Amino acid sequence: MALSDTWRAFDMVGPRTTEVAGRWCVSLCMEDYQTMRHRSSIRYLMAVLALLLVAGACSSGDTGAGSAVGRTERESVTVEPDFSLPPFVVNVALTDTGPEPDIIFLPAGRQIRLVLRNHGTTEHHFLIRGLVPSQLRWRVQPEVDTYDLDSLSPDELTDLGIDIEGVTDEAEMDHVLHHLAPTFVQTKPESPAGIKPVGLDVHGYVSLNTHDVLTFFALQTGEYVSEDVLYPEFTGRVIVFAPSDEG
């Protein structure tokens, strides 16, 4: 029954009945007011709770984004290179299912010698995203045969690590040439697949049955992601730790 109909019904009865009905109507209106007020309070509390949940989700999302670019929750530290220590050698096998191991640890400030070997059936790359290397070099193995020896001076032979004194036969010469002193250069040619490391990231590649050697200093601690440029789904973790974190 509508409220106007209710009041018309009150006018049709006596004064006593009208007084009682009026009290009932006031009571009913107060009850409706309390109910509406209670519902408004519930809606207000639900709105506040929703805002808190959204704020928490945004905070959680920020943390995830930070991890994606290779930063850990710990404060990143920048260190100076230490030239007094021997290189820290890290071996990584690149396979058709990803790098092995899929997580490596590098001491910050120490020269790293990263050795990449192809254990797969195709060309593979190893690139560390976000890690800016210092003094990045790629190893180049000299290619010298016995016909080149006659054109090289004694100093050039020494620079290549060739000592032909006492070499009496071809087998001994082949052994000497196999152990030529490698050189390290600042550029690397593009791979057979047409991908060229640019020197801004730690980036090496290996063709079938080959290996690659890189040297560099990692001066910024943190956690980074490695990936195969040809197969982005093949990823790994690279953790650069401060020397004080050892042990």
Question: What's the pLDDT at 243?
Answer: 82
Domain range for 94 is 76-141+184-247
CATH code assigned at 80: 2.60.40.420
Among candidate residues 152, 181, 210, the one where a domain is terminated: 181
Could you tell me the CA-to-CA distances from 238 to 67, 107, 118, 129 in Å, in that order?
12, 11, 19, 9
Domain count, the chain: 3
Instruction: Give the C-alpha separation, 24 to 30, whole Å.
Output: 10
Q: Do 220 and 107 form a contact (C-beta atoms < 8 A)? A: no
Question: What's the pLDDT at 134?
Answer: 96
Angle in degrees, CA 132, 134, 140, rounded to 5? 110
Question: 3-class SS at 116?
Answer: strand
45 Cβ contact partners less than 8 Å away, ≥ 6 residues apart: none
Among candidate residues 68, 96, 123, the one where a domain is terminated: 68
- Verify that 170 and 112 share a domain, yes or no: no
Question: 3-class SS at 118?
Answer: strand
Secondary structure, 3-state, 81-109: CECCCCCEEEEEEEECCEEECCEEEEECC
- Verify that 163 and 193 share a domain, yes or no: no
Residues of the chain with pLDDT under 50: 2-3, 6-7, 9-10, 12-15, 17-18, 20-21, 24-26, 28-29, 33, 60-72, 147, 247
